[in-house]
A and B are shown apart, each in its own frame.
Chain A
Amino acid sequence: MDSTATSDHDAGGIGRRQLLSAVGGSAVAAALAGCSTLLSDGESADQGGQSGDGISDEPIQAGLLTFTRGAPGVLGIQAQRGAELAVQRINEQGGIGGQREIELDVVNEGSNALDSYNQFIEEGKEVTFGPISSGTHSQIAPEVEKNEVINVGTDGTVTTLYEETVPDPTYSFRFQNYDIMEVVTMAREAVERIGADNISTVAGVNPGYSFGEDEMQVFTQAIQQLTDAEIVYEGFPELGASDMSNHITSINNEEPDVTFSSLWGGDVTTFVRQANANNMFENTTVFGTTLYSAAGDVPGDALAGTDIYSGSRNYYWGLPALGNWQPGRELFDAATQQEGVTVPTAHYMSGYGAVTAWATAVEKAIDLLGTYPSQEQIAQVLEGHGFFTPAGYHNMAEDHQGASNSFAGQMVYDDDLGAARLDDVNTYAATETAPPPGVTGSDWLESWSA
């Protein structure tokens, strides 16, 4: 675990020549890593030998399945804007292989998400991104394998996706850190902040569907491996619940040392406001995986006097700090120019990173083959593929699950920003939060005691 204050922009970092080499040397990879400004300094962008010879200039048809409205739109629109910015940066460099620009078709991930995905395939999309929902991801992943067209999942972070639903995937990949990673991050964060000896009771308030139940189950297993804690309360309010006072009263009754929550979006704001009104933060400290998804929604007075630590999956703007050159800051500025983005959150990176993973893999394949690769060839390159985004270095592990650093910090309100930010941010390496490829999350957590 590495601790970095958000205001610290002078910590370490890598040189630009080293970075250009690391990102693969292509203009697209450099632009997606957020270092296009380096290219304009006259640095050669084609160190990787990328060539557009033999590649048609026909646009690539891509589809993104995400929530564009309703309560989940808080997450989905972030992913959409992230994907759109990545596509914009690719197209500004002339497209994939310097020839093929991307046309991104965005469809709402509603109740007919599987139909929408199949529509993408019928329309001949060469790649699909998304979805946000774990349920949708479990539905479409088997279809992805059947259709043999690459899908890079933005979220849909359910642990069982590559353990049970599609245990041996070829064309299905997932960029964002998945449930076990974000939950273990917060279990470690709780121990880091409070101390294992000071955690004897734990409560949970999580969304009343598979995601929330999955997260609470993993947190229970992780925290009980790290401490001797007893679970004293588990509440599962339904999505969009207007009244959480019963759960809050139960927490006040138990006064647990830690309250774990995977509430997200507007539910976070409702929970925090009602918890604050009930003086809940005098009785517990809240640790949550996706609380920061409400960064642009939660008002300042609701956060005043609270004791909340939130994860931010694999992206927190401003980190990693890279001396005078800050791709994270550039991404933040670009994102906040887009409609509907007050602060880019982890879900923004979900969209940005999914497109980047695929695009940099295709660029690498073109570099190797000298021609535009097939779906199978792209899939082979994506396995074990390493690439940069402004959030740092990512690796698409051989089990098709992205592995990145995780971020967590105290959620406070920033008057200048007009939104919440994370203070005193800790960074956790993927090796601390994810099981090795081939090992299930549950088995990995079990092995901790040994």
Chain B
Amino acid sequence: MAVTPTAALVQTLNGIQFGFILFMIASGLTVILGILDVLNLAHGELFSIGAYTAIGVFGFIIGVVGPPGGGIVGTAVFLFAVIAAVLITAAILLPVGTVLEAVFLRQIYDRDQVYQLVLTFALLLILLDVKKFIWGDSSLRTDAVYSAINTIPTSELVGLNYPTYNVFVILVGMASVVGLFWFFERTKTGRIIRATAIDREMATAIGVSTDRVFTLVFALGAFLAGFAGAMAVPPTAATLEMGTNPLVLSFVVIVIGGLGSLRGAFVGALLVGVIRSWMITLYPPGEIAAPFAIMALILLVKPEGLFGTWGETA
């Protein structure tokens, strides 16, 4: 199939956009893994809860603000409202993560990893039922955001046919990458978290409460999952099963990047997003296999992943 330069550019942008959504999910997973040493199988359900929650939050916020008004100010107000709704959704996941860590995970940190896997799998099933109880069996969607943002001209201004919502995801994704690295590299809390990850005993010796750090990190992971769910849901729908595939792809991403490495998650997510995108373009049946093939290749060449594990750098 001959691919025009425009189509090639759009497919690459599609891959980058998908990669940023993947990064938002995988970042929470990898931070929890890097610091708590827990592979959280329930992370996809937190992502899914974020999507369901966002539908209600979007409805409320957009109901107050209304559709994008005319001019730059009206557009800016609407976009600000959407970002605020995403952040509120993510913030709602903070106490959820806090409770899950304090009530369940804290009890098994000293146990073998298989107990952690069993526990987080149990949490996955419990959260699935919680979603069913709260939101029912049917899929839910929000119509207020995707169409409205797409009415704002962006790519058309440079002669490209590309949805504005996808541009919005890329921009928010870039901001979240910058924000996360800034948090872990520049803030005191971020440095304490990294110090705890590097040497738990030394951190305790200098007065760091590891219990508090662990709770904070798990809550941060839940926040990131909720953030990703809120950003991912407008073009699609929230469904009970929506947490499964992103969880699997996130595992692939963090294995490629290095278990626990935020930097690795970023590179891995973009790699998986863009290669998957090009695979669909050139050989559609390879869509599902492509990310796993990359993972297998990288494991063969560099078993610790592209960036190794969590350590001196995020």
Residue ranges of A at the interface with B (Cβ–Cβ < 8 Å):
68-71, 73-74, 208, 232-238, 240, 242-243, 245-247, 249-250, 252-254, 266, 269-270, 273-274, 277-279, 297, 299, 301-302, 340
Contacts A250-B7, A253-B7: A277 and B284 contacting too (C-beta < 8 A)?
no
- Give every chain B residue within 8 A of A69 (Cβ-Cβ): 132, 137, 240
Are B235 and A249 touching (Cβ within 8 A)? no
Partner of A269, one of B141, B161, B166, B285: B141
Contacts A246-B277, A270-B236: A70 and B241 contacting too (C-beta < 8 A)?
yes
Are A249 and B11 touching (Cβ within 8 A)? yes
- Give every chain B residue within 8 A of A278 (Cβ-Cβ): 161-163
Q: Shortest CB–CB separation between residue B13 and chain A, in angstroms?
A: 9
Partner of A249, one of B21, B146, B281: B281
- Give every chain B residue within 8 A of A252 (Cβ-Cβ): 7, 10, 161
What are 11 sample pairs from A and B whose C-beta atoms fall under 8 A apart?
Answer: A69-B240, A232-B1, A236-B285, A240-B242, A242-B236, A243-B235, A250-B11, A253-B3, A253-B6, A253-B281, A273-B146
Q: Shortest CB–CB separation between residue A286 and chain B, in angstroms?
A: 17
- Give every chain A residue within 8 A of B52 (Cβ-Cβ): none
Cα–Cα, bound, A301→B143 (Å): 9
Q: Shortest CB–CB separation between residue A16 and chain B, in angstroms?
A: 39
Asked if B116 is an interface residue, CB under 8 A from chain A, the answer is: no
- Give every chain A residue within 8 A of B163 (Cβ-Cβ): 245, 274, 277-278
**A-B pairs under 8 A by CB, number:** 115
Residue ranges of B at the interface with A (Cβ–Cβ < 8 Å):
1, 3-4, 6-7, 10-11, 14-15, 17-18, 21, 132, 137-139, 141, 143, 146-147, 150, 161-163, 165-166, 232, 235-237, 239-242, 245, 276-277, 280-281, 284-285, 287-288
Cα–Cα, bound, A249→B155 (Å): 15
Q: Shortest CB–CB separation between residue A252 and chain B, in angstroms?
A: 7
6 new A-B pairs (CB below 8 Å) besides A69-B132, A74-B139?
A238-B288, A243-B235, A250-B7, A273-B235, A277-B146, A277-B147
Are B236 and A243 touching (Cβ within 8 A)? yes
**Residue with the greatest number of chain B CB neighbours at <10 A, chosen from A208, A266, A297, A340:** A266
- Give every chain B residue within 8 A of A253 (Cβ-Cβ): 1, 3-4, 6-7, 281
Are B240 and A299 touching (Cβ within 8 A)? no
Are B17 and A236 touching (Cβ within 8 A)? no
- Give every chain A residue within 8 A of B284 (Cβ-Cβ): 233-236, 247, 250
Cα–Cα, bound, A297→B236 (Å): 12
Chain A residue nearest to B156 in the complex (CB) = A279
Cα–Cα, bound, A270→B165 (Å): 14
Cα–Cα, bound, A235→B280 (Å): 7
Are B165 and A277 touching (Cβ within 8 A)? yes
Contacts A70-B241, A73-B137, A266-B239: A243 and B143 contacting too (C-beta < 8 A)?
no
Q: Shortest CB–CB separation between residue A246 and chain B, in angstroms?
A: 4
Chain A residue nearest to B162 in the complex (CB) = A278
Partner of B11, one of A71, A246, A302: A246
- Give every chain B residue within 8 A of A208 (Cβ-Cβ): 287-288
Cα–Cα, bound, A379→B98 (Å): 60
Are A245 and B14 touching (Cβ within 8 A)? yes
Partner of B1, one of A233, A269, A297: A233
- Give every chain B residue within 8 A of A240 (Cβ-Cβ): 239, 241-242, 245
Are A71 and B288 touching (Cβ within 8 A)? no
Are B139 and A71 touching (Cβ within 8 A)? yes
Q: Shortest CB–CB separation between residue B3 and chain A, in angstroms?
A: 6
**Residue with the greatest number of chain B CB neighbours at <10 A, chosen from A70, A208, A238, A250:** A250
Are B281 and A246 touching (Cβ within 8 A)? yes
Are B245 and A68 touching (Cβ within 8 A)? no
- Give every chain A residue within 8 A of B6 (Cβ-Cβ): 253
Chain A residue nearest to B14 in the complex (CB) = A245
Q: Shortest CB–CB separation between residue B6 and chain A, in angstroms?
A: 8
Cα–Cα, bound, A236→B280 (Å): 9
Cα–Cα, bound, A250→B1 (Å): 9
Contacts A73-B137, A236-B287, A245-B17: A277 and B150 contacting too (C-beta < 8 A)?
yes
Chain A residue nearest to B136 in the complex (CB) = A69
